[in-house]
Amino acid sequence: RTGSFLQFTNNRHAAGNRLLMVRDISRLRQLEQMRQDFVANASHELRTPLTVLQGYLETFADLSDALPERLRKGVDLMLAQTKRMANLVNDLLLLTRLDSIDKPVDAKPVDMNVLLNSILTDARALASEKGHRFELHLDSPVALLGVENELRSAFSNLIYNAVNYTPADGEIVVRWRHDAQGGYLSVTDNGVGIDQKHLPRLTERFYRVDISRSSSTGGTGLGLAIVKHVLMHHGARLDIDSQLRRGSTFTCCFPANLLQTDASESADD
Ligand code: ADP
């Protein structure tokens, strides 16, 4: 009797715990949803005033010859900071969107050759200011089943980081290859590198290794968090290999079922 009484109490206890857990989880979900909605709404509301500010500051910057020296410097500084804030708002919006959906909703074949060349065309302007050299190696034409604007954000973040965290006259290699296991997009630089102790936290939002250096690049601290979320969204993962003062390689590893080689496309037809 005592045994069954104890069991009864235990069961009640266990059931009570279970009930409590269910309540806890739904409360946590609710709070998480509120957090996401708040960030999304706040970012959205900030967009319009920032666009207006940026527009007027650009007009002032165009007229800078007519402005006194002190004002000219102020306008340039305000314009740079306004652009930085606009980037931050866009990154926050993208991250909350990535948070709220589990899988890509509109995945389509993305031509890696076209996508990487278009990102590099834009990045070359900034890279040449720093005297960097770019190399692009592409395995045979292949399309990746994914969301193009998300992949563009992820790859751009890695490529711009390589440009920003490499001292003048660096070398940056972008490589796309694939095998039976999957597809791999890697970005290698011979820049400042990262101490091993930072690697586990590197993809956290706003995590920065060297705050003074990062703020001078104009980055938002959200780049690698975006990369991680885009990859998770595609069932892919990010590998980081880095050595302090030697350089870094960031590799996006995509599962084989997202690859569309010429052979698999014709097999589907
Ligand atoms: P940020 O906007 O600061 O660049 P990220 O999320 O893109 O934010 O990167 C987080 C931090 O990781 C950076 O502040 C920088 O310290 C480090 N990092 C990222 N990419 C590289 C790289 N290629 N070489 C060295 N450090 C890097």
Instruction: Compute the CA torsion angle 41, 45, 48, 51 (nearest 10 deg).
Output: -80
User: Token match 């590099």: residue?
Assistant: 120
pLDDT tens profile 86-115: 999 999 999 988 887 766 668 999 999 999
Across the range 54-77, mean pLDDT stands at: 92
161 CA from centroid of ligand 1 (Å): 6
User: Ligand 1 in contact with 156 (CB < 6 A)?
Assistant: no
User: Ligand 1 in contact with 221 (CB < 6 A)?
Assistant: yes
User: Ligand 1 in contact with 214 (CB < 6 A)?
Assistant: yes
User: Ligand 1 in contact with 157 (CB < 6 A)?
Assistant: yes
pLDDT tens profile 49-58: 999 999 999 9
Dist. CA 168–CA 165, nearest whole Å: 10
- Tell me the two tokens of residue 215: 């703020």
Average pLDDT over the chain, rounded to an integer:
86
What global pTM score does this model have?
A: 0.83
User: Ligand 1 in contact with 248 (CB < 6 A)?
Assistant: yes
Least confident of 8-17, 140-149, 255-264: 8-17
User: Ligand 1 in contact with 186 (CB < 6 A)?
Assistant: no
Nearest Cα to Cα of residue 222 among 243, 208, 206: 206
| Ligand 1 nearest-atom number relative to CA 211 | 14
213 CA from centroid of ligand 1 (Å): 9
